[in-house]
Amino acid sequence: MTSGENKKEPGRSIPLWIAVLIPLAAIGLMLALFAFGNPLSLFTANLPPIEDLNLERIKVVDGGFEVTVVNGGPDPVTIAQVLVDEAYWNFSISPGATIPRLGRAIIEIPYPWVETEAHEIMLITNSGVTFVGEVPVATLTPTPGVEEFLAYGLLGVYVGIIPVALGMLFYPAMRKMGRKWLGGILSLTIGLLVFLLVDTFMEGLEFALELPGVFQGIPLILIAALLTWLLLLAIGSQRKKSIGDDPYRQALYVATLIALGIGLHNLGEGLAIGVAFSIGEAALGSFLVIGFMLHNITEGVGIVAPLVPGKKKNGESEEQAESSEQPQEMKRPSIWVFIGLVLLAGVPAIFGTWIGGFAFSPFLTALFLGIAVGAIWQVIVEVVGLLRNYAEQDGTPLVSWMNLGGFVLGIAIMYLTAFLVKF
């Protein structure tokens, strides 16, 4: 053996195609073993199948109920009988009583339901396992007609667009307050975003926990959040090159991000509202609409906060302004910028109420709320970055008393106005 051969790494001599073939052959061998050998017979002896049905949606229709059932278990499930309020009841099921894995079926139950009262629907499978769904308050589920479509859209306008626009009306005042208060206003935005982050995450968890196990609700949310965050990071680092040092474009970018994050949150909020109304859990009172407006006004404030100029205007009191090197003054955004931001943040609420009211899917909702969590997280990171820039320029600490105060105020406003819409 020469010393040269010794240095050679083992396996070097094997051609690539063989190196690839070996693990593939091993996998094939193992699959064949399981397919023909049944090495797990010890574990599968005569156990009843695992059944996991999910009553995804119960529509209250004229003359009865219409239940959408999803089989989230590993085996097909056969629905044998249906009970309403602990009484066996006639029903029909399509496409068939046996639902394949991840398949779904619609069960129609003619039933004399009672307006505003609660009903319980139970499915019993051929092995006697039961699955329950509730109609907390029976009232006709809206069907997508023109009138309902407009009504739900209007609801989205109330909850999304109007409050955001109202919040933005504070912009001139914020501009007048000037640089001195900017840190506090941005901190207030961060407080608002942190509240929305927690709120969105909790809402996502609720939907995730209702999903059949096979969809892995909680990982779904977390991973959707992670991927969204990374995506926005990548987009952001690319954008930084094109934006350069222009403070206006930088501020506009952050404002757009905030509007996007809030828009995603509002879509989730719209979904929740749409579902709640469609299943009769909430009747629309003006009180509720006004509650959502007050709750969401802060969002408008938050979106335009970065657009408040970072440099003091001429004529204002300024010692440090002249001493430090400042980028050029930020220009005043046009009205179209504000309109665009309002639409970005508010319109998703309209889609939310539509989807929630007419085409609700818990899986997509959970996935979507995960995306919103990731987006809001990245927005927080960006706003904190902006705040740090200003702090560095001013030579003040990032967590100053004013910034802390703004942050606490932002959370407090959101928390307290939430009293109007959460029960």
Which residues inside 185-214 make contact with another protein, applying CB under 8 A? 202-203, 206-207, 209-210
Which of 276, 391, 398, 404 contacts another protein by CB under 8 A? 276
Residues of this chain, 279-298, that bind another protein according to CB under 8 A: 279-290
| Piece of 37-45, 126-134, 242-250, 379-387 that binds another protein (CB under 8 A) | 126-134
DSSP for 284-314, written as a single string? --HHHHHHHHHHHHHHHHHHHGGGS-SSPPT
CA distances from 187 to 9, 190, 226, 262, 406 (A): 58, 5, 24, 16, 5
Angle in degrees, CA 157, 292, 380, rounded to 5? 95
Tell me the CA distances in angstroms from 166 to 146, 238, 263, one per residue in order.
Answer: 28, 33, 15
Question: Closer to another protein at the Cβ: 126 or 326?
Answer: 126
Residue 75 within binding range of another protein, rule CB under 8 A:
no
Question: Per rule CB under 8 A, is residue 416 in the interface with another protein?
Answer: no
Nearer to another protein, 130 or 328 (CB): 130
| DSSP code for 155 | H
| 54 interacts with another protein by CB under 8 A | yes
Considering only residues 142 to 161 of the shown chain, the ones binding another protein according to CB under 8 A are 142, 147-148, 150-152, 154-155, 158
Considering only residues 251, 273, 330, 347, which one is a binding residue for another protein as defined by CB under 8 A? Answer: 273
User: Minimal CA–CA distance to 417: which of 409, 268, 392?
Assistant: 409
Listed ranges 34-42, 60-68, 303-311, 320-328: which one lies at the site for another protein (CB under 8 A): 60-68
Query: Binding residue for another protein (CB under 8 A) from 275, 345, 372, 379?
Result: 275
Smallest gap from Cβ 191 to another protein, in A, equals: 20
Tokens 């109330």: give the residue.
158
Residues 248, 335: Cα–Cα separation, whole Å: 15
Closer CB to another protein, residue 137 or residue 223? 137
- Residues β-bridged to residue 94: 106
Q: Is-contact 152 274, C-beta < 8 A?
A: yes
Question: How many other C-beta atoms lie within 10 A of the C-beta of residue 2?
Answer: 7
Of 168-176, 219-227, 269-277, 409-417, which segment contacts another protein by CB under 8 A? 269-277
From the CB of 373, what's the least distance to another protein, in Å?
Answer: 16
- Write out the H or E segment, with its range, that includes residue 105: strand 104-110
The end-to-end CA distance of the chain, in Å, is 81
Residue 70 CB, nearest distance to another protein (Å)? Answer: 11
Instruction: Evaluate the omega torsion of the peptide bond into residue 95 and state whether it is cis, within 30 degrees of 0.
Output: yes
Are 77 and 125 contacting, i.e. CB atoms less than 8 angstroms apart?
A: yes
Among 99, 109, 174, 262, binds another protein (CB under 8 A): 109
Which residue in the block uniquely carries the two structure tokens 């309109």?
339
- Out of 8, 101, 331, 422, point to the residue binding another protein (CB under 8 A): 422
Site map for another protein, 309-348, x if CB under 8 A? ----------------------------------------
Stretch that binds another protein, among 121-129, 188-196, 224-232, 391-399 (CB under 8 A): 121-129
Cα(201)–Cα(226) distance, integer angstroms? 13
Helices 362-394, 217-243: axis angle to 10 degrees equals 40
For residue 121, the minimal CB distance to another protein (Å) is 9
351 binds another protein (CB under 8 A): no
Within residues 219-258, the interface with another protein by CB under 8 A covers none
Please pick, from the candidates 49, 66, 78, 104, the single residue that binds another protein as defined by CB under 8 A: 78
Range list of H helices, 132-246: 146-156, 162-168, 171-177, 179-210, 217-243
Which residues ranging from 352 to 381 are in contact with another protein (CB under 8 A)?
Answer: 360, 362
> In the set 74, 95, 100, 110, which binds another protein (CB under 8 A)?
110
Residue for token pair 């009293």? 419
Q: What is the β-pairing status of strands 92-94 and 77-84?
A: unpaired
Output the smallest distance, CB 417 to another protein, in A.
15
Count, residues near another protein per rule CB under 8 A: 81
Q: According to CB under 8 A, which one of 28, 31, 134, 213 is a site residue for another protein?
A: 134
